[in-house]
Amino acid sequence: MTAATANAHRPPEDARCAFILCAQRGLRFLTVVLPMFMDMTGKHKDTSLTRRRALAVTGGTVAAGGLAVAGYQSAFADDATTTAEAGATASATSTGGACMTLMSSVTEGPYYLDGALVRKDISEGKSGVPLTLRLTVVDATDGCTPVPGAAVEIWHCDAWGYYSGYTTANPGGSAPAESEDGSTANDNTYLRGYQIANANGVVKFETIFPGWYTPRTCHIHLKVHTGGQKEDGTYEGGKVNYTGQLFFADAIAEEIFTLEPYAQHSGSYTVLADDMVYDGGGASSGLLTLKAVHRKDPSKGYKGSLTLGVDPDAENTGAGGGGGGTPPSGAPSDAPTGTPPSDSASPSASASS
């Protein structure tokens, strides 16, 4: 290294001197002032030990001081390059996070009902493997900041593939009638509900692992609302910012379906790769992160989590569109209670639920 180069990397003399002076004053404080202070306050139990500790710290300070000076010099060297590298790292971090992905809305399907209740536990005693959902709503257009007050609405089928409000709709394959499940659940409200996001944008639901029905894979529907409020036990007003679906890894779902009461529904199950709505995008497409409550016993339940990256200024109800392909047997645009998807589908319907 030439003398010119060395001088270019040398910190300014006044800054260097100030740094060394601070180190010297710190040494004096630890060796002289601190012991005097402890004597004056009377807090001198095992004073010799305390002073030895002080001296030990002083020795460490001296050593650290040398390292600090060296570090200080290197910090001044090529400062512009260091700043540029730090900026590049920050940029990569902010744009590479999964929550930065704005999630695309999909169809709400034919089984949506207005007026779901605001509540954490939506199971109403329905039989099934327990599922706790933890969903975090963030603004994907504003650095993943939380969206407090957002209302997350979910709905899904029971262990045999039946939705509340549509309890006579044929789930495909062979399944007992919904009325045979023995629960006291309300046929118009079970497995539906809202939760309001806290200051961190988080909502939690207690429910059961959904079953399946032809021709769909295992899933949960959801909407994110903003601008409304809780009223008369439900959520009123505002607008729907996002309409989506949550999905489950095939291996976990297929294991669950060997358990009771799921095993009573037999037939051909649709895996993720063959589903008409899931597009293979992982978390950004609604694939949940799942963790077993008990590793060796799936019947004990699962915890599912996902960050929902939405645009609070957007509006998408998911009604009659939003992607997901065409229904194989037809999904009506306005299915009445108890009516399964029929062959007389509306051409505008983009997917079954």
CATH 3.40.630.30 fits 100-310, yes or no: no
**Residues forming beta bridges with residue 224, ordered by sequence position:** 152, 242
pLDDT tens string 321-340? 443 333 333 333 333 334 44
Dist CA 214 CA 18 (whole Å): 75
pLDDT for the residue numbered 102: 81
Which residue ranges make up each domain of the chain?
3-77, 100-310
Dist CA 6 CA 338 (whole Å): 83
Dist CA 249 CA 261 (whole Å): 20
Q: What is the mean pLDDT of each run of 10 residues along the chain (353 residues)?
A: 49 46 45 42 40 36 35 34 34 39 88 97 98 97 95 98 97 96 96 98 98 97 97 96 97 98 97 97 95 95 96 85 36 38 31 46
Residue 100 · residue 144 · CB < 8 Å? yes
pLDDT for the residue numbered 1: 52
Residue 338 · residue 95 · CB < 8 Å? no
Structure tokens at 37: 């202070």
